[in-house]
């Protein structure tokens, strides 16, 4: 075991003891984990190094001192030991993850160039091979369980849809270098307000995320691990962001390069298409939703099936099995960009998943803390909105596409057509509210095109307020 791996192991053992652990107990834990005794003086030097790097903290005096994990999400292993220098934001890593990180951080000239290894995909056998160990899968299921587990696919995601749209659109875009703040993102998504000083591509990226997430939630029972879903998911996420519009939703036909890595993606279009379809076949056959999600995060960016936007497709697509099984979604909120990038590079260059696994598990726990904590304060969904969901979409489309005025007579006619006699008055109110709240940032929710909304907006009278 290298010194880096040893330090990471000690750090992980301390992280398991939130109340602190003394040096004697730590010696025993190390001996049990490694199968060999460790000298007290060696252990003390290791602890001094971890303290200096601010990866752990010490409390108490003399023989009563105990060691505790540092604040979650902070890793100062590469921060300079100088006053005033902030620790690097990172996720807690396993010894295996630390070893991958060490190799990925070598200068490019010291990393061996590698190409796409088809065997890495072919060797994976659904239901037999697992990137996530059973203990981790059980932990994720325990964390991600929601109160609506037995209801139709997508129910939980719809319950938290407004918050998820903002969080996931912002966090996923931020991992691509987008400078929108969460508040900017919320204003754009909820009110169609473009942030000042941001370029059009950043705004488009946020809106594309919103449309993609809505697509998965609205069609939760239909979407799956198939070429149609993922090519359309790419088309939505890449809209107006690629040099060639025809490349949106199309498997790439030319070589691509990735900066900051010695990995060279697959170049032959026919082989790429074969691998893409094999990847989706394997993903569809995986029995566990968390393994499905993580498999996609590993294999899809590694294959690079599209000219760009591959990681975005993998992050949003990873939520498909979670949404379908009414598990807590994965928003990537607070995930440090460097940790995510280095985990992905570990797959690209080493075909090793442990560092990305550390990021995935930490990110999912963070998402669960965020969403499951607010569930108890959420208002119970209106049963009529659930009952007439499709009818309400049809009614909104009828008004907008027909360039109709949203007046009481039009609303009443649609209510009479689409709702039962007992529900017509309530349906009319739902439709009136939906039309009043409709704006450019919410048209996809009603399966409308932006051009259709703008045409309707240009000719309709203003709907009176209550």
Instruction: Provide the annotated binding site.
Output: 308-315
- The answer for residues whose C-beta is within 8 angstroms of residue 341's C-beta and 6 or more apart is 260
Q: Can you read off the two tokens belonging to residue 292?
A: 């499905």
Q: In the chain, count H helices and then E strands.
A: 22, 6
Rg from Cα positions in the chain: 25
User: Rounded distance, CA 219 to CA 224, Å?
Assistant: 10
For 383, other C-beta atoms within 10 Å of its C-beta total: 8
Angle at 326 between CA 343 and CA 430, to 5 degrees: 125
User: Rounded distance, CA 303 to CA 285, Å?
Assistant: 19
Beta bridge partners of 67: 21, 58
285 φ/ψ angles, rounded to the nearest 5 degrees = -90, -5
Decide: 286 and 210 in contact? Cβ < 8 Å: no
Run of H or E including 414: helix 408-418
66 φ/ψ angles, rounded to the nearest 5 degrees = -130, 155
Residue ranges at the known binding site for ATP: 308-315
Angle between the 161-174 and 310-317 helix axes, to the nearest 10 degrees? Answer: 150
Decide: 6 and 46 in contact? Cβ < 8 Å: yes
Instruction: Give CA 219 to chain center in angstroms.
Output: 18
Would the CA dihedral through 152, 154, 158, 163 be positive or negative? positive
Decide: 53 and 77 in contact? Cβ < 8 Å: yes
For 82, other C-beta atoms within 10 Å of its C-beta total: 6
- The answer for residues whose C-beta is within 8 angstroms of residue 340's C-beta and 6 or more apart is 175, 332, 356, 359
Alpha-carbon distances of 244 from 36, 200, 212, 237, rounded to whole Å: 59, 17, 20, 14
| Residue closest to 57 by CA, chosen among 92, 82, 91, 20 | 20
Would the CA dihedral through 418, 419, 421, 426 be positive or negative? negative
């Amino acid at each position: 075991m290298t010194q880096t791996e040893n330090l990471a192991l000690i750090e992980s053992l301390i992280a398991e003891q939130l109340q602190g652990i003394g040096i004697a107990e730590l010696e025993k834990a190390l001996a049990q984990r490694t199968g060999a005794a460790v000298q007290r003086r060696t252990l003390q030097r290791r602890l001094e190094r971890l303290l200096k790097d601010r990866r752990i903290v010490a409390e108490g005096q003399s023989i009563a001192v105990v060691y505790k994990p540092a604040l979650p999400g902070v890793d100062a292993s590469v921060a300079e030991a100088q006053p005033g220098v902030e620790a690097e934001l990172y996720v807690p890593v396993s010894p295996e993850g630390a070893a991958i990180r060490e190799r990925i951080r070598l200068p490019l000239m010291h990393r061996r160039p590698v190409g796409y290894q088809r065997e890495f995909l072919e060797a994976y056998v659904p239901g037999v091979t697992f990137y996530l160990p059973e203990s981790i899968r059980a932990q994720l299921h325990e964390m991600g369980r929601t109160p609506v587990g037995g209801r139709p696919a997508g129910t939980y995601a719809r319950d938290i849809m407004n918050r998820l749209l903002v969080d996931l659109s912002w966090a996923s875009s931020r991992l691509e270098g987008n400078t929108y703040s969460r508040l900017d993102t919320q204003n754009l998504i909820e009110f169609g307000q473009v942030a000042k000083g941001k370029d059009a591509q950043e705004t488009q990226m946020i809106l594309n995320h919103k449309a993609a997430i809505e697509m998965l939630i609205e069609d939760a029972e239909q979407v799956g691990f198939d070429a149609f879903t993922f090519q359309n998911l790419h088309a939505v996420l890449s809209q107006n962001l690629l040099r060639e519009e025809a490349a949106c939703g199309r498997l790439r036909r030319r070589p691509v390069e990735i900066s900051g890595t010695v990995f060279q993606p697959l170049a032959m279009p026919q082989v790429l298409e074969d691998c893409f379809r094999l990847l989706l076949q394997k993903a569809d056959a995986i029995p566990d939703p968390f393994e499905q999600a993580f498999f996609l995060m590993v294999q899809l960016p590694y294959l690079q099936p599209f000219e760009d936007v591959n990681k975005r497709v993998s992050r949003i697509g990873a939520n498909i099995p979670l949404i379908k099984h009414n598990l807590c979604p994965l928003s990537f909120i607070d995930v440090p960009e460097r940790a995510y990038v280095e985990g992905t590079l570990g797959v690209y260059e080493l075909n090793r998943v442990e560092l990305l696994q550390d990021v995935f598990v930490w990110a999912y726990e963070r998402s669960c803390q965020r969403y499951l904590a607010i569930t108890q304060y959420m208002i119970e969904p209106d049963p009529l909105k659930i009952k007439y969901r499709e009818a309400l979409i049809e009614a909104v489309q009828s008004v907008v596409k027909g360039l109709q005025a949203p007046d009481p007579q039009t609303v009443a006619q649609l209510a009479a057509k689409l709702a039962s006699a007992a529900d017509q008055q309530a349906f009319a109110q739902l439709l009136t509210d939906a039309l009043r709240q409709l704006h450019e940032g919410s048209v996809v929710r009603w399966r409308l095109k932006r051009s259709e909304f703008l045409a309707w907006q240009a000719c309709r009278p203003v709907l009176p307020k209550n």
